[in-house]
């Protein structure tokens, strides 16, 4: 069993495994080169290209895990929405889901017909990695996927989303049920294709207060993770940002580990979660674009805090930013690989 999987299983050793969210992407010149000729969607939807992009950071750095190159939004295309990644704007959905008939029209296709390209990319990557490095599969969480579906773009505010949530609970329920099914099947299919770990991204959960979390979000997260864990035996990591105050509630989810952003220290997050669980995180990605002298101290502080919790996977508190110097990423990973708990 690899260092990464063992650590997520709570079996910490004196080494801290490391991977970075968005470790593949625009900060890498070799990614930008491919991206000159193809759109983000073409790259995800062509298995050979998606596999190549997944492997790019592993050729440069001694990472302990790979993450399949896809997006949390690509599985929504098969539901019947028009998704585009627009330059400078990010994801745009031209036909947002606002009414009962919009929700009812959403299909829940099987992963093989919906995202066969990602499953094929996983098989190519697993073959290439040849048992040396585990591959992470992932999905968005129902709340965050809803926020894109309903707002139609990266949610600056969540007025339409919360409007449906609290204004029409039966319709919200219907949408959440469809998304839970889509996500469970997608996550299970990724494991069947060869992924050894799963991560669930709930990037916008930090905008939800405890009352609405309990009523409109928690039941579906509980169902999603419970169903996945009943079907596949791989560690499931739950990641959200801005949720320091929700950790006591999130701790009740049956996730095997939690991703932590930079707004809280690892020991404080662990105490708030309230049970013995491995944590992943949490260097501020904006700090990783700062002078190395500062980064080094900040990264060592994260590693030292990681010794105060039962098991620690080093990561950033969110994805690598586009303007991060590659050299900073290189030095960071070497620092983590040289560290002993
Ligand atoms: O390396 C990896 O981490 C794996 C691939 C991955 C991508 N997106 C590729 C991508 C993963 C795991 C994601 C998850 C994702 N996508 C999330 C959850 C994590 C988070 O960041 O909160 C969210 C909210 C999205 C939605 C999304 N996709 C946005 C808001 C954007 C535009 C912003 C941006 O950075 O351009 C994307 C596009 C996207 N997804 C890119 C990449 C590499 C940039 C594509 C490009 O233009 O080349």
* 9, 26, 60, 331: the active-site residue: 26
> How deeply is 15 buried, as exposed, middle or buried, from its count of CB atoms within 10 A (0-12, 13-18, 19+)?
middle
**For residues 255-280, average pLDDT:** 98
The pLDDT of residue 12 is above 90: no
Our answer on whether the CB atom of 337 is closer than 6 Å to any ligand 1 atom is no
Supply the pLDDT for residue 168: 98
Closest atom of ligand 1 relative to the 68 alpha carbon: 4
Q: Report CA(19)–ligand 1 centroid distance (Å).
A: 16
Q: What is the mean pLDDT of residues 91-99?
A: 97
Q: H-helix or E-strand containing 228? A: helix 218-231
DSSP 215: I
Does position 87 have pLDDT exceeding 90, yes or no? no
Query: What 3-state class would DSSP assign to 217?
Result: helix
Query: What does the alpha-carbon distance between residue 74 and residue 330 come to, in Å, rounded to a whole number?
Result: 30
Strands (DSSP E) contained in 99-220 are: 135-140, 197-202
Mean pLDDT value across residues 76-87:
96
Q: Is the CB of 53 under 6 A from ligand 1?
A: no
Ligand 1 touching residue 138 (CB < 6 A): yes
CATH topology assigned to domain 3-338:
TIM Barrel (3.20.20)
Res. 89 pLDDT band, cuts 50 70 90:
confident
DSSP labels for 11-51? ---SS--B--TT-SSTTSHHHHHHHHHS-HHHHHHSHHHHH
CA angle 296, 300, 302 (to 5 degrees): 120
263 flagged as catalytic: no
Extract the runs of DSSP E, i.e. beta strands, from 76-143: 83-86, 90-93, 135-140
Task: Record the pTM.
Answer: 0.97
60 lines ligand 1 (CB under 6 A): no
Q: Maximum Cα–Cα distance for the chain, whole Å?
A: 56
Segment 208-229 shows an average pLDDT of: 98
| Residue 14 phi, psi (nearest 5) | -85, 0
Atom of ligand 1 nearest to the CA of 31: 48
294 catalytic per annotation:
no
State the pLDDT confidence band at 1, using cuts at 50, 70 and 90.
confident
| Cα 200 to Cα 259: distance, rounded to the nearest angstrom | 9
Q: Which atom of ligand 1 is nearest to the CA of 26?
A: 48
* Annotation marks residue 339 as catalytic: no
Residue 27: active-site member: no
Instruction: Give the residue whose CA is nearest to atom 43 of ligand 1.
Output: 25
User: From the alpha carbon of 44, which atom of ligand 1 is closest?
Assistant: 9
Task: Domain ranges for the chain, please list them.
Answer: 3-338
Residue 196 has a pLDDT of 98
Residue 145 alpha carbon to ligand 1 centre in Å: 13
Residues 24-79 have pLDDT tens digits of 999 999 999 999 999 999 999 999 999 999 999 999 999 999 999 999 999 999 99
Ligand 1 neighbourhood includes 22 CB (under 6 angstroms): yes
């Amino acid at each position: 069993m690899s260092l990464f999987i063992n650590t997520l299983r709570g079996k910490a050793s004196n080494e801290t495994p490391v991977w970075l969210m968005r470790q593949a992407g625009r900060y890498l010149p070799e990614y930008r080169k491919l991206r000159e000729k193809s759109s983000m969607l073409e790259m995800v939807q062509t298995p050979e290209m998606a596999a190549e992009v997944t492997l790019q950071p592993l050729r440069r750095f001694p990472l302990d895990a790979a993450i399949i190159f896809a997006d949390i939004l690509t599985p929504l295309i098969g539901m019947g929405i028009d998704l585009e990644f627009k330059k400078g704007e990010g994801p745009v959905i031209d036909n947002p889901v606002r009414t009962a008939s919009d929700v009812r029209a959403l299909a829940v296709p099987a992963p093989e017909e919906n995202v066969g390209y990602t499953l094929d990319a996983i098989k190519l990557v697993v073959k290439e990695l040849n048992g040396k490095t585990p591959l992470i599969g992932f999905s968005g969480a129902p709340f965050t996927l809803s926020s894109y579906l309903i707002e139609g773009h990266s949610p600056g505010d969540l007025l339409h989303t919360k409007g449906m949530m609290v204004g029409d609970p039966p319709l919200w329920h219907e949408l959440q049920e469809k998304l839970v099914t889509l996500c469970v099947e997608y996550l299970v299919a990724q494991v069947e294709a060869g992924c050894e770990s799963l991560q669930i991204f709930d990037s916008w959960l930090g905008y939800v207060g405890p009352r609405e979390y309990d009523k409109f979000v928690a039941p579906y997260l509980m169902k999603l993770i419970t169903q996945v864990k009943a079907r596949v035996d791989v560690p499931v990591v739950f990641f959200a940002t801005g949720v320091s105050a929700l950790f006591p509630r999130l701790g009740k989810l049956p996730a095997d580990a939690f991703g932590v952003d930079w707004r809280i220290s690892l020991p404080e997050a662990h105490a708030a979660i309230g049970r013995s669980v491995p944590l992943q995180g949490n260097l501020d990605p904006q700090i990783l674009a700062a002078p190395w002298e500062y980064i080094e101290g900040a990264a060592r502080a994260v590693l030292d805090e990681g010794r105060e919790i039962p098991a620690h996977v080093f990561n950033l508190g969110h994805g690598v930013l586009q303007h991060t110097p590659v050299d900073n990423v290189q030095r960071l990973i070497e620092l983590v690989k040289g560290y002993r708990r």
